[in-house]
Amino acid sequence: MPTTRSTPAAKLPICPDLLLDRDGPVLRLTLNRPDVRNAMTGEMVRQLTEVVAWAEDHPEVGTLVISGAGGTFCAGGDIKGFMASFRAARPEAGQPDPIQADNRRFGHFLTRIEALPQTVVVAVEGAAFGGGLGLACIGDVVIATRDARFALSETGLGIPPAQIAPFVAARIGVSQARRLALTGMRFDGAEAGRIGLVHEVVEDGAALEARVAKLVADIRRCAPGANATTKRLLMAQRTTALPDLLDLSSAEFARCLRGAEGQEGVAAFLEKRQPAWAAGS
């Protein structure tokens, strides 16, 4: 996976624990703490949230690719951070526990990244444990190597997978989420594909990189605004009654067809050429 940082026209945030590489409409984000298998600290989550805020403000970037440096996706939360929490003073009676607030920040981050207008591609090799597995579950397209290792490992540490559990259940269903969370079992990429946690399984890191490149090229042929609207409507089915969702969808269809992307897309089709957003893909 890429390990270089570019300097785009729209300045990217400075994130020491991440590698950010923008190539036109594609932003690649690499978790970059390979010495600890890219385990997430509170500071890394803060930096990830900063990147999400940047992406929210730059819808012209249509694709976000997330991977991990050093042949590992993410080993979950940094256990040293948990040890620091043990030493923190307990809150006074009636006051919220600061551990609760720290934990809740990760759920806020996952909610925001899942709702991004960008198409999010997650590429997993090595370990995806705990929060790393949760991060994989927010991807619009998730690819893993056959020998990647997954686990909902929190219960083995005496804690619940508190913030990631709803995202895991939404991805694979409550029944499978219960099986994984209540056993802490480890499983490989092939099993992750079988249960629907990942969409595609490839043989090795080289095949993973090739598949990501092909997916990025495919996404570039889609209008970024149309993709963002489609993603929002698909996500809305979780909470919106069908008649209301169909009404909303028809309104969005009309808005998009009358918009610049709709006019350009139809014109390009009739003129047998690529639309402007796909130039160079």
Contacts 24+ apart (CB under 8 A), 258-264: 259/225, 261/223, 261/224, 261/225, 261/226, 262/226, 264/223
Q: What are the residue ranges spanned by the domains of the chain?
A: 18-220, 224-278
* Fold equal for 18-220 and 224-278: no
Output the CA torsion 232→73→190→113 (10° steps).
-10
Instruction: From residue 261, give the alpha-carbon distance in Å to each of 25, 63, 279.
Output: 15, 17, 14
Location of structure tokens 């919106």: 240
173: tokens are 């269903």
242-254 pLDDT, tens per residue? 999 999 999 999 9
- Give this prediction's pTM: 0.92
Higher confidence at residue 129 or residue 5? 129
Give the pLDDT mean for 50-71. 97
235-281 pLDDT, tens per residue? 999 999 999 999 999 999 999 999 999 999 999 999 999 999 998 76
pLDDT over threshold 80, residue 9: no
Give the three-class secondary structure for 231.
helix
Confidence (pLDDT) at 5: 43
pLDDT over threshold 70, residue 26: yes
DSSP classification of residue 74: B
If pLDDT is split at 50, 70 and 90, which confidence band does 86 have?
low
CATH number for the region 18-220 comes to 3.90.226.10
224: tokens are 């970024």
Which DSSP string do the residues of 2-18 spell out, in sequence order? -------SSPPP--TTE
Confidence (pLDDT) at 187: 98
Mean pLDDT for all residues in the chain = 93
Confidence (pLDDT) at 3: 40
Per CATH, the homologous superfamily of domain 224-278 is Lyase 2-enoyl-coa Hydratase, Chain  A, domain 2 (1.10.12.10)
